[in-house]
Copies of this chain bind each other. A is one copy, B any other.
Amino acid sequence: MSLIVQKYGGTSVGTPERIINVAKRILETKEAGHQVVAVVSAMSGVTNRLIELADQVTGEGKPTEREMDVLLATGEQTTIALTAMALNSMGAEAVSLTGAQAGIETDGVHTKARISNISPEGVHEMLDEGKIVILAGFQGKTADGKITTLGRGGSDLTAIAMAAAIDADLCQIFTDVDGVYTCDPRVVPDAKKIDEISYDEMLEMASSGTKVMQSRSVEFAKKFGVRFEVRSSLNNNPGTLVREESMSMESVVIRGVSLEREQAKVTISGVNDLPGTAGKIFGAVAEANILVDMIVQNVSVKQTGKTDISFTVHRDDVEKAEAALTPVLAELGNGVTIRARDGIAKLSVVGIGMRSHSGVAAEMFEALSNAGINIEMISTSEIKITVTVSEEQIDEAAKVMHAAFGLAEA
């Protein structure tokens, strides 16, 4: 008998029929002899309808975040009740728990709270009584009883955190894809599903465009050593197991290729290469709530002591970034200019094997060059190399990379 945490997203529980299907799957797991905690999200569409209601009652004003959490938490509460009663009507003993009831305690940052503690005694007790526990994802409560929500990817986080708290044997994240692929199969038709991937690789994939899960859940899983499987709720195919690094993983140099479109490059030229310059620039950008990804600074020209700083942002954020930076430019010295250009995309290769294999970057650049694809910016981490290319060439670039590193045969 294993203790298994399962998580079903909003699409998987989007209609009464789908809830029944999810209930059947939960029951199968239970009948296979396991203890089951199933974390469910709000039915797809519900959260948007609630937000719309909030907008209607507040008019010009922005809904208060405390009340937004009370409102949004009803979405998952609805799903847990429906899922538990569906199971009950199949003859199974299932009970629902809200985040608060399950002892999920968070800080008080409404709409994006962080889990601070889980008291799993109640969940253990119910499991010991032979019950299936249906747990509301995405929500918790503060120490003084306020309802909070965990923000984007919150239901995954609930599943992984609960799996850690009750020391589950496995955590299964059910979604609408079969797992993590070596590349987006819509771009690279011979992309393969990855059987096992390390936390770090998963994090780098997530941060470079492979949107299977939010980084924060993966980070949490890594921190607490929770193995989890990403798999489809639509079939019974095995998914991708995300786990701590193993020796055998290193033999694969590149685990996967990620791409991210709709990027723009912002370049600030003629900047004095002095301490604090970058701080001023990225402080202003951060204050405007703009997510910056790659940052590249050239070595300053000796004679002038001036340099260029470039970074990428989503193309929709370009205007906001320019507006945020304009007041800063004057502080950076005379002749400082700002330029932005969209129509670029990011291509990343990720793999922990990279650490023990030199020459990966060279191989990557050569393959792209041979295919006539020009590289604009380069940025590297220990297990990832990212380049920007023209958005028109990104699909071709992905195929070239996938082939160059033999990912279809992996």
Contact = CB atoms under 8 A, between A and B. Distances in A.
A143 interface: no
Contacts of A77: 70-71, 73-74, 77
A210 interface: no
A117 interface: no
A66 B60 CA distance: 39
A279 interface: no
A266 to B, nearest CB: 35
Contact of A16 (B57, B78, B85, B95): B57
A57 B71 contact: no
Contact of A54 (B64, B82, B90, B98): B82
Contacts of A73: 77
Contacts of A95: 66-67
Interface residues of A, number: 42
B78 A63 contact: no
A89 interface: yes
A101 interface: yes
- Copies of this chain present: 2
Nearest to A88: B64
A290 interface: no
A56 B81 CA distance: 13
Contact of A61 (B58, B64, B89): B89
A83 B58 CA distance: 9
Contacts of A53: 16, 78, 82
Interface of A: 16, 19-20, 23, 50, 53-54, 56-64, 66-68, 70-71, 73-74, 77-78, 80-86, 88-90, 95-96, 98, 101, 122, 145, 147
